[in-house]
Structure 1
Amino acid sequence: MKKNLIYIFILLSVMACLDDKSNYDYKDLNDFENWDRNGVSNVDSDYTLYPGEEILFEPKVRFSIDSLNPDASYAWYLGKEEEKTLLSEQLNYTYKAEEIGEFTLLFCATDNKTNVTFTKEISVDVIASWKYGWMVLSRSAGNESQLSMILSKKQKISVTVDGKDVSRDTVVYVGENMNIVPNLGRGPRRLVENFILPTVHGMLVEDEVMVLQESGPVELDGNKLTPVGYAKNEFFDGIPDHFDPVDAVLTFDGKWLLNSDNYIYMANLSVAIDLHSGFYLKDASLNGKKVKTLLPYYKGEGNYLIVGIDENDTYFGIVNDGECGYNSTDYVINPLNSVGACAEFRDDYENDLFKGVEGEFIFHAWANEANYYTSPAYFSVLDQNGEYLWHYYELDYRKENDKFYLTEESSESGQIPASIMVDYKCMAFFPWHEWLLVVSSDQLHFYDYWENRIINLASLPQFNSEIVGLAVKDYDSYYGTLNAHLAVALKSGEVYIFEVKYDSELEEMELVELYHKDGFGEIVDIECKFGQGNKPGASSMY
């Protein structure tokens, strides 16, 4: 009897094991070992939409068993696992973008036989249609200023790397909006974007765009591109005589206008999230210092210096060190700052590339992502009697005995080959790839200034009109996985956008056309609209 009980126990154990194994196998099949890769198709992981746009999700779900006729139920949620709101209990779902922001959709597929639920997260970035892209400033037949936008979105694409399909971000161009702002002004000159890099947790502020024109500068909301400020209305004690700004630098805590008579007028802001919280003074800044040029300003973390060149062809700096208080909730800029102070080289400083420079500057660009550890870097090109000198340099300042001195942190220079400067028209600079693009005789020439070599183009783009402007969106990509984008504006009113692809083995450049459109009119300026203060050097598309 005892022996029989043992046999019965063994038999029951085996049957239980077999039953468990059967359940384990079944559940294992439905755990979808490759769920993230194969479980759901026809749905991407990331989408970019404009407010008001809709997208129909029609996922195709593949179960490991019963794949043709699965016994399943489905649900869509807004939010992640911890905190989600039910949107639909159908397989297909139409999502409508109603407000700007970053959202997570959660798609759930439940195997009704096992009650096991599998999920897929989908990120939806809802952005203002005019937040990112390319701005085109044109002149109408009646000399009116016209601002247009080339619209862009982030998109996932599949590329093959080492024989494997991988997903990569790219930017696609989805159209354009012409002449967006009615009655913008007259006599267009140039565009300057003003955006804030948040320095306090929770700080939210949109970028703005200043349009410089003969009728006076106007600032536009960065999303709606509607007027939000006019420089003439922001003077505390009256508008200066002959007020006619031709350039501007717009920063975290101040605005500087360079007038046509070479004087600078400054507005010192008091609230970081209000770009109109300060006012200009009628008297010229810097004790009436005459200024030829304000260099392009990198609006990034820790850049506390604005660089210019005075009437004596000598570099100087403007201190720009305003910050909000630690853990500030009102975002008031600390009044104990030195914003607007002038920093100059010491009297005994000797470097003819910074002091009493001989020749004519034909190009300036910012050249790095300035931060707390890296001084602002610049790239300039100097015409010295037909010989063209490039200059890469870092400048900063220090304070001694209540006086500020401009300091040279580094300086490198070289000569650009004369062959690519014949009938020179314009230039563009790729800060992260360290290339210079020169347009001469309506031909494009890529130049590696560190290696002193001209980079061959796989094919030369053929344009039917003179090139009048260039703009670049370069990417600080550590692994070199993101290619720069180049915008080319033609006198005929056409704009081309190319992806710039470099083959390091062939040492050859290829320009892949991404966009081409005419009808922009007489183009005066073209600029990449970054939309945020941390985007000029971003390692991602958006």
Structure 2
Amino acid sequence: MKRILFLILVLFAAGACLDDKTNTDYRDINNFDDNKWKITGIGSNYSLFPGESITITPEVRLLIDTLNPDVECRWILGDTEVATGPSYTFVAEEYGEYTLTFLATDKKTGVSFPAATDLRVAPRYKLGWLFISRTASGNSRLSLLAGKRVIVPYMDGNYQRQRDSLVYVGFYTNLGGALGSGPIKLAEEFVYSESNYPLPSVLSEIMVLQESGPVELDGYELEIVGHPFDEFTGEAPKEAIKDAVLSWSCKWLQAEDGRLYNSVAMVTTDLHSGRYAGDPAFNGARYETLIQTMKSSTYSDSKFFIAIDETNTMWALLDNASEKYNGGGIVDPVNNYVGHRARLANNSTGSFDMSLFNNFSGRYFKHVFVSSNKYLLSLIERDGKYLWHKYDLDIPRVYTPGTEIKVKESKTGELAAEMFADFKDATFVYDYYGGWEWLFVASGNKLYGTAMNWNEALQNSREIFTAPADIVSVEARYFSNSMANEEGVNYSHLGVLLKDGTFLVLEVNYESDAFTVKEIYKENLKQLDPEITDVVDMIHKYGEGTNLYYGYMY
């Protein structure tokens, strides 16, 4: 729209210019075609939160009357003239993207000289690092280090794209009001966002898991919008909910006793359109661990996640629902296989070691999240060796109940023992385009990194950072390589939480076969909010599923 409007203005201005057929005394005039005019003081874009404002005062320089041009100034927001005069104040009120055009019209010639900018109004709490903490009274306290959308160049500066969380603009605490007590964990839920029908205005929610009962918050304002225990058709579980995962059209809660409860959505774009069954799934089978797979971003993606039971056996929990044709996101009840579980079986040639999947006798360190549907990755110990286990399952788009799920890929490789001497946490960065895969492991107060080479017998680990206190959690904010920084270097932001309450953001680059680390943010959460006694969990908040899936914001 901005380009079309700009072209119209250019054509209009060119037609309004005076040439020497009418300028008989041959004096210099302010001519659009001379290309000797310039408007400065107006940026190409501005990013604001609701309630913020920006005052723009351009400086107009023409061919003549350079220092004090006699011009009439007009301001057009979208297609509507909103002001006249040399400056304009835009007040951010509603979320959205707007084009603001400034027109300086030379009163002598009638020639108009335009400049335009993009104004983006984004939710204050949509992006950033989110924390759940415990106060001295045992209450849950929600805090956010907010990120802001910015424009960055790519493809040698010939193009621009929007990115989020390159800059951190404020720490906010005591969000969401009175949440409850006994904080356990945070989970971000995404509305399915690639259907061809109107989407809800909010594309994410935050589920706060706590001993007093889980609550769900609007992903933009962080206000309470639901209580999962109110969405049960029967009696809600008496045990606390310790974990939750969201698949394509289904939400799953894991109680402290290991039993699972699922809510089957009726509409894929509405996280609250379904109801939880009062009885636990799978006749009350108990599971130790839920492994979150990539939340499906397209309809054709496999829809499942992994659950590990008490015998260290993996199960595929399936969500093979489909939408009604032209049904506005309504789930088709005829082709709905949500809530089925399937055993994992060897491939047709029997070439995989199934002891990694069934009755695993080793030790799990971490099932690191991979922002892709291509494979899953676990860090394990077996027979005195520390290993990575990369695996993939052949999940059909339409599941036949009762059939087994074949393992499609399974391979292991060794990791350096020093990475697990005092294991704290691990995180993984996967480039959507397959260019690079990085693993980061926290051991004590040290952070190790390795650029994964799946063909190496032993990964080449590097100690890349030493913290002033023990690390308790590390999470990656992934950036796609097509959105690399201005120097063209691939990088990620790592959020590192220390035992003393200090939170760090590290920019980690990789080039010339080595990691470089730059500290770009450091703050102690307990000092920012003296009521916090313990930071329980942190996540990177993406605000919508496409940001997580692709690694950048469109």
TM-score by length of 1: 0.85
Confirm or deny that 1:219 pairs with 2:227: no
Where 1:478 maps in the other structure, the secondary structure is helix
Shift of 1:532: 0.8
Code of the residue aligned with 2:48 in structure 1: it is L
Distance across 2 between alignment mates of 1:20 and 1:456: 75
Q: For the pair shown, which has the larger CA radius of gyration, 1 or 2? A: 1
Question: Do the aligned partners of 1:456 and 1:507 also contact (CA within 8 Å) in 2?
Answer: no
Residue among 486, 500, 509 paired with 1:492: 500
1:371-390 equivalence runs, <5 A: 376-384=374-382, 386-390=384-388
Counterpart Cα distance in 2 of 1:77 and 1:61: 17
Could you tell me which amino acid in structure 1 is paired with residue 264 of structure 2? N
Q: 1:190 is paired with a residue of what secondary structure?
A: strand
Work out whether residues 456 and 509 of structure 1, in 8 Å CA contact, stay in contact via their aligned partners in 2.
no
The 1:91–1:283 alpha-carbon spacing in structure 2 relative to 1, beyond 3 Å, is same
CA distance in 1, matches of 2:341, 2:303: 12
Q: Distance in 1 between matches of 2:546 and 2:159?
A: 30
Question: Could you say what secondary structure the match of 2:144 adopts?
Answer: strand
1:63 maps to 62
Q: Pairwise mapping of residues 100-499 of structure 1 onto structure 2 (< 5 A)?
A: 100-156=95-151, 171-198=166-193, 199-206=195-202, 207-240=204-237, 242-299=238-295, 300-301=297-298, 302-329=301-328, 331-336=329-334, 337-346=336-345, 350=352, 351-370=354-373, 376-384=374-382, 386-398=384-396, 402-432=401-431, 433-450=436-453, 452-455=459-462, 457=464, 460=465, 462-463=467-468, 465-478=469-482, 480-481=484-485, 483-499=491-507
Corresponding residue pairs, total: 508
Residue 377 of structure 2 contacts residue 389 of structure 2 at CA under 8 Å; is this kept in 1? yes
Question: How has the CA–CA distance of structure 1 residues 281 and 197 changed in structure 2, closer, same or farther, with 3 Å as cutoff?
Answer: closer
Q: 2:368·2:428 contact (CA, 8 Å) conserved in 1?
A: yes
For 2:408 and 2:105, the matched residues in 1 are separated by 61
Structure 1 residues 73, 92: closer, same or farther in 2, change over 3 A?
Answer: same
Q: Is the deviation greater in 396-405 or in 242-251?
A: 396-405
Q: CA deviation at 1:25?
A: 12
CA distance in 1, matches of 2:207, 2:31: 59
Change (3 A) 1:265 1:23: farther
Deviations 1:159-203 (A, max 9, x none): 9979x9999956211111112133211111110011113223322
Cα drift, residue 97 of structure 1:
0.5
Is the contact made by 1:435 and 1:447 (CA closer than 8 Å) also made in structure 2? yes
Relative distance call for 1:397 and 1:379 in structure 2 (3 A) is: same
Question: 1:362 and 1:41 mapped to 2: Cα distance?
Answer: 56
Q: 1:33: how far off?
A: 4.6
1-structure distance, mates of 2:423, 2:26: 73
Equivalent of 2:32, from 30, 33, 37? 30
Could you tell me which residue of structure 2 aligns to residue 540 of structure 1? 552
Name the residue aligned to 2:89: 94
| CA distance in structure 2 between the aligned counterparts of 1:195 and 1:124, rounded to whole angstroms | 26
Q: Structure 2 vs 1, CA of residues 290 and 60 (structure 1 numbering), >3 Å: closer, same or farther?
A: same
Provide, for residues 453-509 of structure 1, a one-character-per-residue CA deviation record: whole Å limited to 9, x for no partner.
Answer: 22464xx4542x32211121101233644632111112222211122223x136232
Instruction: Tell me which residue corresponds to 2:515.
Output: 508
Distance 1:249 1:352 in 2: 26
CA distance in 2, matches of 1:201, 1:217: 30
TM-score by length of 2: 0.83
Q: 1:334 to 1:108 in 2, by over 3 A?
A: farther
Identity of aligned residues (%): 32
Aligned-partner SS, 2:89: strand
- The residue identity in structure 2 corresponding to 1:483 is Y
Offset at residue 52 of structure 1 (A): 0.9
SS of aligned partner of 1:76: strand
Q: Is the 8 A contact 2:29 2:63 kept in 1?
A: no
Q: SS of the counterpart of 2:339?
A: coil
Q: In structure 2, how many angstroms separate the alpha carbons of the residues matched to 1:505 and 1:244?
A: 48
Structure 2 CA distance, aligned partners of 1:455 and 1:40? Answer: 50
Tell whether 2:528 aligns with 1:524: no
Distance (whole Å) between structure 1 residues aligned to residue 169 and residue 475 of structure 2: 18
Comparing 171-180 with 198-207, greater Cα deviation is found at: 198-207
Distance 1:318 1:341 in 2: 6
Match of 1:10 in 2: none
* CA distance in structure 2 between the partners assigned to 1:25 and 1:538 by the alignment: 57
Q: Decide whether the 8 Å contact of 1:195 with 1:252 is kept in 2.
A: no
For 2:25 and 2:146, locate their aligned partners in 1 and report how far apart those are by CA, in whole Å: 53
Deviation at 1:386, TM superposition (A): 4.5
Question: Residues 120 and 353 (structure 1 numbering): CA distance in 2 closer, same or farther, change over 3 Å?
Answer: farther
Q: What is the CA–CA distance in structure 1 between the aligned matches of 2:35 and 2:403, rounded to whole Å?
A: 64
Contact in 1 for aligned 2:131/2:535 (Cα 8 Å): yes
Pairwise CA RMSD: 3.2
Q: Is the 8 A contact 1:320 1:338 kept in 2?
A: yes
Whether contact under 8 Å (2:445, 2:467) holds in the other structure is no
How far did 1:51 drift?
0.9
Q: 1:169 to 1:344 in 2, by over 3 A?
A: closer
Distance 1:161 1:529 in 2: 29
**8 A Cα contact 2:428 2:440, kept in partner:** yes
The whole-number CA distance in structure 2 between the counterparts of 1:26 and 1:404 is 84
Question: Structure 1 pair 400/178, CA: closer, same or farther in 2 (3 Å)?
Answer: closer
Q: Distance in 2 between matches of 1:506 and 1:224?
A: 42
1 CA distance for matches of 2:310 and 2:34? 71
Query: For residues 409 and 43 of structure 1, do their structure 2 counterparts lie closer, same or farther at Cα, with a shift above 3 Å needed?
Result: farther
For 1:205 and 1:402, the matched residues in 2 are separated by 36
Structure 2 CA distance for partners of 1:124 and 1:324, relative to 1, 3 Å: farther
SS at match of 2:262: strand
2:220 aligned counterpart, secondary structure: coil
2:11 matched residue in structure 1: none
The offset of 1:61, in angstroms, is 2.8
Determine if contact 2:447/2:463 at 8 Å carries over to the other structure: no
Q: Partners in 1 of 2:90 and 2:290 — Cα distance? A: 47
8 Å CA contact 1:323, 1:333 repeated in 2: yes
Partner letter of residue 387 of structure 1?
Answer: K
Change (3 A) 1:462 1:92: same
What is residue 9 of structure 1 aligned with on the other side?
none
| Residues 63-88 of structure 1 deviation map (CA, whole Å, 9 limit, x = unaligned) | 34443222322221111xxxx00111
Q: Given residue 498 of structure 1, which amino acid in structure 2 is its aligned partner?
A: L
Q: Shift in Å at residue 286 of structure 1?
A: 2.5
Give the distance between the partners of 2:537 and 2:306, measured in 1 at CA.
22
- In structure 2, what is the Cα distance between the partners aligned to 1:324 and 1:205? 21
Q: How far apart in 2 are the matches of 1:385 and 1:282?
A: 42
Q: Please tell me whether the aligned partners of residues 192 and 268 of structure 2 are also in contact (alpha carbons under 8 angstroms).
A: no
Unaligned ranges ≥5, structure 2: 1-18
Mapped to 2, the partners of 1:488 and 1:180 lie a distance apart of: 21
Question: Distance between the aligned counterparts of 1:22 and 1:531, measured in 2?
Answer: 62
Q: Distance in 2 between matches of 1:530 and 1:167?
A: 17
**Contact 2:253 2:261 (C-alpha < 8 Å) held by counterparts:** yes
Classify 1:499/1:23 alpha carbon distance in 2 versus 1 (closer, same or farther; 3 Å): farther
1:205 CA drift (Å): 4.7
Distance 1:527 1:333 in 2: 30
Q: Within 1, Cα distance between the matches of 2:400 and 2:248?
A: 26
